[in-house]
Amino acid sequence: MTYQHIQVPAGEKIVVAEGAQGVTVPDHPVVPFIEGDGTGRDIWRASVRVLDAAVAKAYGGNRKIAWMEVFAGEKSFNQFQTWLLPETVEAFKEYLVGIKGPLTTPIGGGIRSLNVELRKQLDLYACVRPVRWFTGVPSPVKRPQDVDMVIFRENTEDIYTGIDLEAGSPDNVKFKQLLKEHFPREYAKIRFPDTAGIGVKPVSKEGTERLVRAALNYALANKRKSITLAHKGNIMKYTEGAFRTWGYAVTEREYADRVYTWEQWERTKAAEGEAAANAEQKAALASGKLLVKDVIADIVFQQTITRATEFDVIATMNLNGDYLSDALAAQVGGIGIAPGGNINYLSGHAIFEATHGTAPKYADLDKVNPGSVILSGEMMLRYMGWAEAADLIVKGMDGAIAARTVTYDFARLMDGAKEVKCSEFGSAVIEWMDKPALPLMPAEGVATGVKKPIKRAVKKPAGKKTAGKKKPVKKAAKKAATKAKR
């Protein structure tokens, strides 16, 4: 395609891998990028140096990314009088894999969110958010090192469908009239119909299956221990409950020889008793099978804090995943260091992005933490199959943070920290790619890096000591879920 406003650098296209899920990447791929609004400019300058350095060090100069700037947000509006340049969407379609900084949400009519619009136009159905702790990062929990999870959030359905009818609007009135005439029992459930806004929450079998497949393929390829389907199916039986049902069904139908599910456990328990079900699950996991289970959405927020080691990959719908991703990020340093990727594993299209906002008051001050975009770039390199470069970025981040060479957001919470600028943190990450790793801090050492420990609002229930007890494989988790339903 010929572009009017975008300059295409010398390089080659990333293409969909033949006969397999994934992409084929040349040594000099063209990669579109959006630098972002507000702090995005500072963050991108620091991040691109880290990404280029990692690639150069990993491959001795034999591989190099040809960066191609594309436009969205304030820069696009100021230059082209549109928040999302149509050429930008076409460039992402043509070159498959890209990265972006934070973007401003336009005020007023038109596009609700530039991020959502890009995801919808490219059908990037899986929002993937890895959550892990880097040694020394301040945390409000006692054992942030137990958090090592990957969230697969459905990216095209649920609230992202955008069927949201304002109270009193003609569409709202028309919809409620239809509901009243054709579904009188459902209409009668609306407590205050005259002033109620109406939203529609579609959850489909096809949307569920492709998300769960993506999570299963990721978990199996990366030798993860389990997948948890998080849902509110006890209340919303035909949307969130259907997500659970369809998720288990596609798992057992297409991955039966590689997984063991809680649905299997239930069937064996009903036929042969709980002891037999526990023995069957134990044997399946010992043979290397992936455990697939489910949990009610409200309980997952509690248990990812109190039982973090029991969670690994989590697959869920849009709204649940939105809440859960940020809640988990809070345990390991906040969204300022949380990466994200929006991926269509079938077409190969992927955009990796900052998960935080634009923070305009810090724009062009060279101050904020570039960790989210740096780690989103690490995700991108790994998706491209350049794992050696991705590993160097993780090594550099680990080293810089463990040495307490950090930006202001972490420095104000860490004893003995050296506060550095955004650009200087990028330089520190590059330097630590070549240095030996520092010894890991002891688990109890987390609190020593925090100047003002955050008080825990929830106390441990009395008389619930579990240390040293051998629980049934599944029974304890089922009891917690049953209690929550009550």
List the catalytic residues: 160, 232, 298, 322
CB atoms within 10 A of CB 10: 7
Say if CB 239 and CB 271 are below 8 A apart: no
Question: Helix count (H) and strand count (E) of the chain?
Answer: 17, 17
Instruction: Indicate the DSSP class of residue 395.
Output: H
Task: Tell me the CA end-to-end span of the chain in Å, nearest whole number.
Answer: 58
In the DSSP assignment, the letter for residue 319 is H
How many beta carbons lie within 10 A of that of residue 274, not counting itself? 15
Question: DSSP states of 403-472 as a string?
Answer: TTEE-HHHHTTSTT-EE--HHHHHHHHHHHTSSPPPPPPPGGGGGGG-SSPPPPSSPPPTT---TT----
What is the C-alpha to C-alpha distance for residues 33 and 47, in angstroms, rounded to an integer?
A: 12
| Angle, vertex CA 140, rays to CA 463 and CA 230, nearest 5 | 70
β-pair type (126-132, 339-343): antiparallel
Q: In what order do the strands lie in the sheet with 97-100?
A: 66-69, 30-34, 97-100, 350-354, 339-343, 126-132, 148-154, 313-316, 226-231, 290-296, 259-261
Residues 6+ apart with CB under 8 A from 250: 208, 209, 212, 213
